[in-house]
Amino acid sequence: MFNRYMLELGSKRSAIRELHEFGRLRAESLGADSVFDFSIGNPSVPPPDCVRQTIKRLVSASDSVALHSYTSAQGSEEVRKTIADDIKQRFGVNMRADLIYMTCGASAALTAIINALAEEGDEFILPAPYFPEYTVYVTAAGAKHIDIPFKGNFDIDLDALEAAINKRTKAIIINSPNNPSGKVYSEDMILRLAEILERKNRELGITVYVIADEPYRELVFNGQKVPFVMNYYKNTAVCYSYSKSLSLPGERIGYIAVSPEAENADELYLAILGAGRALGFVCAPTLFQQVVAKCLDARPDLDIYRHNGKLLYDELTAAGFECAPPEGAFYLFVKAPDGNSQAMSERAKQLGILIVPGDDFAAKGYCRVAYCVDESLILRAAPLFKKLADSYK
């Protein structure tokens, strides 16, 4: 009677949403002070002033009909040209407006590019740890996902990745800065990945694409730089969202950018248009297309995230937990003392602390702790994290 896969998805929330809902119900019954929610990546920094001022100007303009009307399916040509010019100026890629597709955030971008590429029997390689919904998007497109382990520092295990590539491999999805680990892949890592892909393309007579999921591109600390993957590997499509860079997660605005050097770039773009049409992802929100185009240089207050990341890292390591220092995004990936991340998450819940077990991120043995929260939450939770650590002794 129903699509069984869709019924299964609708019957069970993601681990992140499940925890967030648990926190909401706990707050209702025991009070908000009983919940220490580090589960969800919801920006805690307000949008830059440019965003607020631009919205005010646009909505007060006389031609409100045009502001709320449809654009073309792939987005306003003027907006796409502005974004293409920005990519060209920032990264030196000769981007064109007709290779930019405006989307309802990075999730719609990922879904559209995966459906544009996927054919029956195709495989998509997912280097762990990765955002759990990747598996949903790939499976729903009729393809198969292949998980690749990570090294101790959360780098990709490139030997395992190379061994996994075969004639059915269609693409690799990479995410840097990474959710959930906060890892920023180095230029050397991207260079080595590109070398492997070029070699396997020649050996197998195939074209493997890289899908670079980059909603956290601007959220990096301590002088870290995020390599723009198109500059290292031509068969690349970038999925971007302004959810984090402009603190606009609820407005659902982003884009896909296809490398102009990619093989059959124009046909790939047309396939994205077709996927957007088939999925109903046409004409991203018109108002926020205009807003982001006028605020491309704006940035959130990274000092807040930087401060929170260091504060939480210091508190967790002082309590006795093991985790890597923050590099980017707004997550710490904490090692479960007994290797059981599900049990650690449950122990934390008993104290009112909500942290996400790494199992759904293909990283058993770790828990994700989001620090896009108010500083006071970290300070109030510190004694409870110490209590959690002591419970393992």
Q: Identify the band that residue 30 occupies on the pLDDT scale cut at 50, 70 and 90.
A: low
What would the pLDDT profile of 285-334 be if each residue is shown by its tens digit? 999 999 999 999 998 888 999 999 999 999 999 999 999 998 999 999 99
The CA distance from 171 to 226, in Å, is: 20
Res 102 pLDDT > 70:
yes
Task: Give me the pLDDT at residue 144, please.
Answer: 98
Res 32 pLDDT > 80:
no
The chain-wide mean pLDDT, for the chain, equals 94
Of 72, 151, 203, 319, nearest to 195 by C-alpha is 203
Task: Give me the pLDDT at residue 1, please.
Answer: 79
Res 188 pLDDT > 80:
yes
Q: Identify the band that residue 216 occupies on the pLDDT scale cut at 50, 70 and 90.
A: very high
Q: Identify the band that residue 24 occupies on the pLDDT scale cut at 50, 70 and 90.
A: confident
Percent of the chain whose pLDDT exceeds 90: 85
Q: Identify the band that residue 7 occupies on the pLDDT scale cut at 50, 70 and 90.
A: confident
Q: Identify the band that residue 5 occupies on the pLDDT scale cut at 50, 70 and 90.
A: confident
Res 44 pLDDT > 70:
yes
Task: Give me the pLDDT at residue 65, please.
Answer: 81
Are 176 and 183 a contacting pair, CB within 8 Å?
Answer: yes
Task: Give me the pLDDT at residue 15, please.
Answer: 74
SS3 assignment for the chain: CCCHHHHHHHHCCCHHHHHHHHHHHHHHHHCHHHCEECCCCCCCCCCCHHHHHHHHHHHHCCCHHHHCCCCCCCCCHHHHHHHHHHHHHHHCCCCCHHHEEEECHHHHHHHHHHHHHCCCCCEEEEECCCCCHHHHHHHHCCCEEEEECECCCCCECHHHHHHHCCCCEEEEEEECCCCCCCCCCCHHHHHHHHHHHHHHHHHHCCCCEEEEECCCCCCECCCCCCCCHHHCCCCEEEEEECCCCCCCHHHCCEEEEECCCCCCHHHHHHHHHHHHHHHCCCCCCHHHHHHHHCCCCCCCCHHHHHHHHHHHHHHHHHHCCEECCCCECCEEEEECCCCCHHHHHHHHHHCCEECEEHHHHCCCCEEEEECCCCHHHHHHHHHHHHHHHHCCC
Q: Identify the band that residue 29 occupies on the pLDDT scale cut at 50, 70 and 90.
A: low
